[in-house]
Chains A and B, each alone.
Chain A
Amino acid sequence: MEFKLEAHRIVSISLGKIYSARGQRGGLKLHKNLLVSLVLRSARQVYLSEPGCPPEPPPAAAAAEPPEEEPAPRTAAWAAEPPPPPPPQDEAGRDCQGPRPRRCCCGEENRGGCAGAPPPPHCPRKRSAGERGQAGSPVKKPRREEEEPPPPPPSPPGEQEDMETSNVASLISIFGSSFSGLLSKEPKGRRRPPLDGGEAAAGTAPAEAAAETGQICCDEPVLRTLNPWSTAIVAF
C-alpha cells in the first residue's frame, strides 16, 4: 500500500508539472516533459498494479520506500522486498484486447468489500494504436506544440461515471478551476484547444479523451484510461 501511496503522490506531482508547463514562457520544454512522462508512466504502472500485492520487480516497479524517508542511499529496492506473488491482473489494461465496458467496482478504499475475485482490469478504449498491443511499455510522450490535434475518440458511456471521489480533491487542487469545466460529461465531439500548426502533423494517435471528458485523474479506474500525454496533448 505504501508503494501505491508513493506512486500516487508521484503521479499527482507529475501531472501538476505537466499542467504547469502549459503556461510556461518559451513553450513546451520537450526534454523535461518527456522525462516527467516517463516518471508518470512508471508511477502509474505501479499504481495500477494489484492493490495489496507488492509491485513487481523491474522494469517499471517503484522504489520500496519514499526516498526522503530513507537516510541511507537506496539499495536494491526490489531485492529488499519479498518475492511478490504474481498479481492476478498483471499489467492492468496492457493486454486488453478490446473495449470492456465493465469497470472495477471497487475503489481503493473499499477493496475489502469487493465481492469475489477482483474484477477484470478496466480496459481503456482510448489507448492509441501505438500503445495497444505493446505489453508493458506504452511510450506515449507529450506532444510537441505544433502537432495537430488528434480527433477525440468516442467514449464508452460506462466509463464516464466516477466511482472514486476521495482522491479527487488533491488533483482538483492541482488543476485548479481550469479543469472544473471538464468535470461534467462532455460531448464526444468536443473540440480540442487548437494546437500550434507548422510541423507536418503526424496526428495519428487518437486522443485520450479521458482527461478531456472530465475523468478525475487520480482514480484507479481513471488512471487506467489516463494517458499522461493526453493532458499534455490537451494542453499543447
Chain B
Amino acid sequence: MFLKFSLRSVFYGAGGGNDIQWCFSQVKGAVDDDVAEADIISTVEFNHSGELLATGDKGGRVVIFQQEQENKTQSHSRGEYNVYSTFQSHEPEFDYLKSLEIEEKINKIRWLPQKNAAQFLLSTNDKTIKLWKISERDKRPEGYNLKEEDGRYRDPTTVTTLRVPVFRPMDLMVEASPRRIFANAHTYHINSISINSDYETYLSADDLRINLWHLEITDRSFNIVDIKPANMEELTEVITAAEFHPNSCSTFVYSSSKGTIRLCDMRASALCDRHSKLFEEPEDPSNRSFFSEIISSISDVKFSHSGRYMMTRDYLSVKIWDLNMENRPVETYQVHEYLRSKLCSLYENDCIFDKFECCWNGLDRQVQLCSPSTSAPSRLFLKQAT
C-alpha cells in the first residue's frame, strides 16, 4: 500500500507479491483545479492496522476513511476506502496578546494504538493539540416507559404497563469527541507530534522547542529541548521534525533545518539540549549554490519499525541512517535530481519550501515518498532487505 496526496486529493495504490507493481487504486477528493483553499489537504496518516486513513485539511477538518472489509474471494486486492467520519478539529483563533491569527490548518495527525472499541488520534494545528475519540454507535435503546420514541415525554398517568428498554440496531453512526485539549505550550508553530512507545506520553515539537506531554494531563508539559538562542539574531537553525524511538521510550530524535539529526536520551538530563548522537553528512562542496541551505533542510524523519534505522527526507533526496553510524547515511536515494538545476525557479514560486514526507512500509523493505504538493510526483524506492 502506498500513499500519495496532492494538494487536494489522496491517492493510494496497492501492490503485492515479490514482483512489486504499483498502480493507483483510488482517488479521494477533488481532482480538478477548482478547489477551495480550506479543502487543501495538509496531512495524511494511516492508523496502525491500515484500516483507517485520516486526512487533515487547511480548514481544520479531519476526514477519516475506512477500508471496507476484504472480499474473501479476492484476497489479493484490498478493499476500497470510504468516508467514515468527518469532524471539525480546529477552528481559527486569535491571539490578542500578539495580535496574531492562529491558523486552523491541521499540521499533523497521529493515531494512538487501539486499546478498545474506540479509536483515538491526536491532531494539531500551529498551537494546540487535541485528542479525539472516534467511536461507533450502531444500536440504540428503545422502549422507554416515560419517553416516546421521538423523545417527547409521556404523561405518567397514561402509563399502564411497564416494559424493559432493549437495544435495537440502528444505522452506523460515527461520533468524534474531543477528549483532551493540550494548549498554550508552544510559542512557535508546532510541526511534529509523536506518541511514545509507552503509550502514555507524547512529544510535540515547534521550531525551537520540544515538549513532553502525558496523554492524561493537559495543563502542563515538560520542555525537553530548547534551541532558542538568547539573542534571536544568532538563530541559525530550527527544529523541523521529531519522533520517538519505536522501542525505547526514553529515546527520540529531532531533525534540523541544517540537515542534522540529533538523537537524545531523556534519561541523561531533564533538558536534552546536549545530544547523545549527532547524525550529519558533510556537504558536497561541488553542489554548493545559493539554495544549498534550503535543500539540505530535513523535512521529515522516521524510524524504521525495528528501530535500527531511520530515514530522513530533504528536498532532493532520501537518506537511510544506521543509528550506529553518525558520520554518513548508509543509503542515499536521489528522488528528483533533475530539479537541482531548477532551484532558482522553485525558489521563486515557493515550491522549494515544500515539505516532503516519507514512510517505511510494514516490513521496512521499501520507502515511500509523499509529496504534499504537485511540484514533484511521488516516488517509490526499494531498499535492500536487511
Contact = CB atoms under 8 A, between A and B. Distances in A.
A25 B235 CA distance: 23
B31 to A, nearest CB: 26
Contact of A68 (B230, B237, B291, B345): B345
A62 interface: yes
A198 B100 CA distance: 12
Interface in B161-213: 187-189, 191, 207-208
A120 interface: no
Interface stretch (B63-71, B267-275, B334-342, B375-383): B334-342
A176 interface: no
B105 A26 contact: yes
Contact of A59 (B231, B288, B297, B350): B288
Contacts of A229: 233
A30 B290 contact: no
B286 A26 contact: no
A130 B97 contact: no
Interface stretch (A98-106, A144-152, A178-186): A144-152
A64 to B, nearest CB: 9
B257 A140 contact: no
Contact of A76 (B232, B286, B294): B286
A143 B229 CA distance: 12
A177 interface: no
Interface in B355-378: none
A8 to B, nearest CB: 12
B233 A128 contact: yes
A27 B186 CA distance: 14
Interface in A121-152: 128, 130-131, 139-141, 143-147
Nearest to B293: A38
A147 B97 contact: no
B326 interface: no
Nearest to B284: A76
Q: How large is the interface on A (under 10, 10 to 19, 20 to 34, 35 or more residues)?
A: 35 or more
Given A35-B297, A197-B98, A67 B232 contact: no
By DSSP majority rule, is chain A's interface helix, strand, loop, or mixed?
loop
Interface stretch (A89-97, A108-116, A199-207, A215-223): A199-207
Nearest to A70: B341
B155 interface: no
Interface string A51-85: 00000001101110011101111111111000000
Contact of A25 (B103, B208, B234): B103
Given A25-B101, A43-B290, A67 B345 contact: yes
B112 interface: no
A77 B232 CA distance: 32
B98 A145 contact: yes
A144 B232 contact: yes
Contacts of A141: 232-236
Contact of B234 (A30, A130, A146, A198): A130
Contacts of A63: 289-290
A26 B257 contact: no
Given A62-B290, A141-B232, A143-B233, A67 B207 contact: no
Contacts of A58: 285, 288
A69 B240 CA distance: 32
A13 interface: yes
A35 B293 contact: yes
Interface in A26-40: 26-27, 29-32, 34-35, 38-39
Nearest to B348: A13
Interface in B276-310: 285-291, 293-294, 297
A72 B341 contact: yes
B291 A39 contact: yes
A67 B100 contact: no
Interface in A188-236: 196-199, 202, 204-205, 229
B294 A205 contact: no
Interface in B60-94: none
Contacts of B234: 130, 139, 141
A10 interface: yes
Nearest to B207: A30
B290 A35 contact: no
Nearest to A71: B341
B344 interface: yes
Contact of A74 (B236, B289, B353): B289
A144 B233 CA distance: 10
B297 A130 contact: no
Given A31-B207, A144-B188, A198 B97 contact: yes
Closest 9 A-B residue pairs measured CB to CB? A196-B98, A26-B103, A76-B286, A141-B235, A205-B233, A27-B100, A67-B344, A30-B207, A38-B293
15 contacts: A6-B344, A27-B100, A31-B238, A31-B240, A39-B293, A58-B288, A67-B343, A68-B344, A73-B338, A74-B341, A141-B232, A144-B188, A146-B98, A197-B97, A229-B233
Interface of A: 6-7, 10, 13, 17, 25-27, 29-32, 34-35, 38-39, 42-43, 58-59, 61-63, 66-68, 70-79, 128, 130-131, 139-141, 143-147, 196-199, 202, 204-205, 229
